[in-house]
Structure 1
C-alpha cells in the first residue's frame, strides 16, 4: 500500500460500517432534505439528522459529533453554508476527520470564492444522482477517516502530540502525505516550532506547490525579518493561485507594517472585491481606508463587516464605531449622530460599548461638532483606563491629539 492514500484496494465503495456513521443534512428546503435522506439511506447510511438552517446546524453540532455533514450553501436568512463551516471550525465542533461537503446550485463569484476560502472537503453541484453522492462520500471518507488518529489530540488541544502522531503516520505510510505535511506545518507554526514548519512547508512546496505552503514560507520569511523575500513569496502565490485570498491578506499586512499603507489598501480592496464574505478582511480594509483617507471605501467595508458579523452572530460595537468614523469622514455628520444613538441602543449591554461610543462622539467633535466635545471628554474621564479595549487606544490617542487634548 502506498503512502499517498489508504484503502485504495476497495475502489470507490463506501467504507464498512457507514450505517453507524452519524450524518447531518443541512438544507432549508424540506423536499431537498427528504431527497438527501433517501439517497443516504439507499447508500447504506442510517444515522441521519436534519437541520433546517445554519443556526440549527451549529446547534446540532454543539450537541453531537458528526462524521459527515452535507450542507447546502444557500440557507436563506442567517448563516450560509460557508459561514456554518467557519463557525463550527472556530468553535471546534467538528473533528479533523469529519467529512464536510458543500451542496450548491449557485455559481456566483461570491459563492465560488467564499467556498475556496473555507475549503470544505468537497462540493456537490445540484442536481446530482444517488450514485454520485455515494461515490463522493466513499472517496471523501477514505481520505478523512485516515485522520481519526489525530482527533483525540486536537480535542485536548495537544498540538505537540498531534504533530508527533502525524509524523508517525508519515513514517508508517498512513494517510495522504499532502494532508499530513500541511497539518504538521500549520501546527508547528502555531506552536512556534518554526524549523519544523519550514521543513514541512518546503517539502510540500517542492512537491506540488500548494498555495498554503507558499504563504506559510512567506510568513516564515516575514517572521525572520526578511520582508523582501516574504513579499516575493506572497506575490508568487498570487500569480500562481490568484483565488487563494490569504496571500493577498498577508501581503497587505506586510505592506502596512512596512509603511506602504496605500499599496496595502489597494491589495486588500481587490481581495475584498473578489471574495467579499470574509469578516476579518472587511474589518481590516475599513481600518486601512479610514487611516488613508478613502471615506467611501471605508464606509463600504464597514457596512459589509456589520452585515457579515450580524449573520455570524459576531456583532461588535467596534464595527459600528468604524462605520460612524467613515460617515464623519464623508461629511455625513447627521447620519453619524443617528448611528451613535443606534450603537448605544444596539449594544446597551455590551461591556465595551461606552468606549466605542465615546470614541465615536470625540471623532464627531474633531470633525466639527463642537457641541459633543465637552460631554464626551467628561464621559471619557469617568471611564476606568485599565478597562480600555486595546483596539481603542491608538484611535483614541489620535482623536485627542486632533482636539488638542493631552491624553
Structure 2
C-alpha cells in the first residue's frame, strides 16, 4: 500500500544501485537511462518483456525495479510483478516503481493492487522521478524489518517489528500499526486487531484502519458493527474496493446475498482488472443462482487470469458449469446449441497457458467436452468421453489433480452418476477450492437436478426392494424407469442387467429380454468404470456370456 509522506533527504545512499528496467519501448529506455545516469545510477539492466525480465531476476537481484504496466503481448507489468513476488525474486529491501501511460481509473487501481512502492504516470520529469524514488528508498530502508518479515511470512516477528517501528518511526506509525493489525487477523487474533484499530482511530480518522476494523468485527461475528465501519470507510474513500469487498462479506454473513452481489459488482466496476474481486463476484453469483451474470464474470475472469499466477482450470470449469445451468434454466431453446461454440472459445483462450504447465490439459479438455455432450443430450457419449479421460487415475486415486477431480465430480452429477460423484467427496475435501466447492454445491442445489435425483433414487429404491422381495418383473419396471430418468446411471444399469439375467431363462419374452440385456451390457462395455462397478460388471458380463 502506498504511503504519502514528507519529502525525504535529497541524498541517495552511498551504495551503487542496480536497476532492472522492464519496458518494450526503446525510446523510453533511452530516456530513463539518461535520467538514472543523471541521478548517479549507472548499473542498469534492460528487459523488453516479462519473460526476459523473469530470466534476469532468476540470475540476480536488483535494488530498483522499474516496470512498465504495458509490456505488449503476453504478461503485463502487474502480472509480472505478482509473478516475481510469488517466486520471491524481489528482495525485501528493494524498491518497485510501476509506470504507465494510461491514466484511467481501472489501470491505476489495477497497478496499485500489485502494491508497488510507487506508481508514476507518463510523461514525468526527472525531478518527479527523483522525488518518488528517494521517498521509496527512504521508506524501504526505514521499514526493512517489516518487509523482511512479510517476505518470510514470519507473522510473530512481523507483529513485534511493526509495534517497535511504530514507536521509533512516527512518520510511518499508522502504516506500522495497520500492518500489525492485519497480521493479527492472519493469526486469527481479531480482538487484538479490533482493539489496536480502535485505539488508532481514537486519535484520527484513517480509511485503512477503518477498513481493518470492519474486517476484525466481521471475523468476530459483529457483522452489524462491521457494516457501519465499512460504510464509513466508503463514505470517506468511495473508491476503496477492499471496503466494498468486505461489506459484501458482512452482507453475506447477515444473509443479504443480493446486497453482497451488488457491493461486489460495484467493486469490479471500479477495478475491472482485479482477478480476486471478479472471482468472489462469480462465487456469489453462483450462490445466488444468477447464472447469467456468473457466466459473464467467469468469461472475463478467464481472460484476466490467462497470463498471470492466478491462471487456473477452475475458472474454465466454473464457466462451463454456469453456462450449462444457464442454458438448462433459461427456457431458451437457442442456448444449448451454442454451448459447444462457447466452451471451445473458452478452451482456446486458456490452452496455451495450461499446456505450458505440468497440468494434464488434454484430459481436462476431454472432460470439458464430455460435459458439453451431456448438456447437448448425449449422456452415453459424454459418459464414454468422461471415463476414458479419467482412466489414468481411476485405479489409483492417491494423488488426483484437484482440477480434474472437481471437473469429474461436476460431470458425474450432470450425468446422473450420483453414487460415484458422492464417493469422490472425501477426495475433494482433501483439496479444497472455494470456487470448485461452490460449483459442486450449485450442482447439488439446482432445482431440476434435485428433482431428477430424488425421482431416480425413489425408483432405484423401489426396484431394489422389489428385487429383494422376489418381485422381479416389478423390479425391472422400476429400474427401466430409473434409467429413463437418468440414462447413463451405472448403478441402475447394473441392477437392470442383474434382474434381466434372472428373468431371461424362464420368461416367454426371453428373446426380447436377451436383446435388452445385450444392449445394456454393450452400453457399459469398454467404459473404464470405477473398481467396484467394474468388478460387478465383469461378473454380470460373464454370467450373460454363459447364457448365450
Do these two structures clear the TM 0.5 threshold for a shared fold by scoring above it?
yes
2:311 equivalent in structure 1: 315
Separation in 2 of the partners of 1:34 and 1:402? 67
2:379 equivalent in structure 1: 372
2:339 equivalent in structure 1: 336
2:141 equivalent in structure 1: 145
What's the offset of the Cα at 1:195? 3.9
What's the offset of the Cα at 1:306? 0.2
Separation in 2 of the partners of 1:83 and 1:28? 15
Q: Between the two structures, name the one with larger relative contact order (CA 8 Å, sep ≥ 6).
A: 1
What's the offset of the Cα at 1:246? 0.7
Aligned alpha-carbon RMSD (Å): 3.4
What's the offset of the Cα at 1:371? 2.4
The structure-2 alpha-carbon separation of the partners of 1:208 and 1:72, relative to structure 1 and needing over 3 Å to count, comes to farther
Alpha-carbon deviations, 1:338-381, whole Å to 9, x = none? 4556659946873699789768866985x6x4422782547963
Separation in 1 of the partners of 2:271 and 2:252? 20
What's the offset of the Cα at 1:207? 4.2
Partners of 2:287 and 2:442 within 8 A in 1: no
Q: Which deviates the most, 115-124 or 180-189?
A: 115-124
Q: Which deviates the most, 137-146 or 205-214?
A: 205-214
Separation in 1 of the partners of 2:115 and 2:361? 33
Alpha-carbon deviations, 1:112-142, whole Å to 9, x = none? 2323433432222222222332222112211
Matched, 1:254 2:250: yes
Gaps of 5+ in 1: none
The structure-2 alpha-carbon separation of the partners of 1:168 and 1:269, relative to structure 1 and needing over 3 Å to count, comes to closer
Alpha-carbon deviations, 1:143-174, whole Å to 9, x = none? 22111233443444322122212322333347
Matched, 1:101 2:97: yes
- Per the normalisation by structure 2, the TM-score is 0.64
Partners of 2:167 and 2:173 within 8 A in 1: no
What's the offset of the Cα at 1:32? 1.0
Separation in 1 of the partners of 2:362 and 2:164? 49
Matched, 1:350 2:347: no
Task: Find the residue that maps to 2:378 and give its secondary structure.
Answer: helix
- The aligned length equals 398
Partners of 1:122 and 1:140 within 8 A in 2: yes
Partners of 1:54 and 1:80 within 8 A in 2: yes
2:401 equivalent in structure 1: none
Larger radius of gyration: 2
Separation in 2 of the partners of 1:176 and 1:305? 36
Gaps of 5+ in 2: 384-410, 458-488, 490-548
1:228 equivalent in structure 2: 224
Separation in 1 of the partners of 2:56 and 2:207? 33
Alpha-carbon deviations, 1:308-358, whole Å to 9, x = none? 110215332221122223333155223323455665994687369978976
Separation in 2 of the partners of 1:299 and 1:89? 30
2:452 equivalent in structure 1: 403
| Pairing of 1:35-50 with structure 2 (within 5 A) | 35-50=31-46
The structure-2 alpha-carbon separation of the partners of 1:113 and 1:5, relative to structure 1 and needing over 3 Å to count, comes to closer
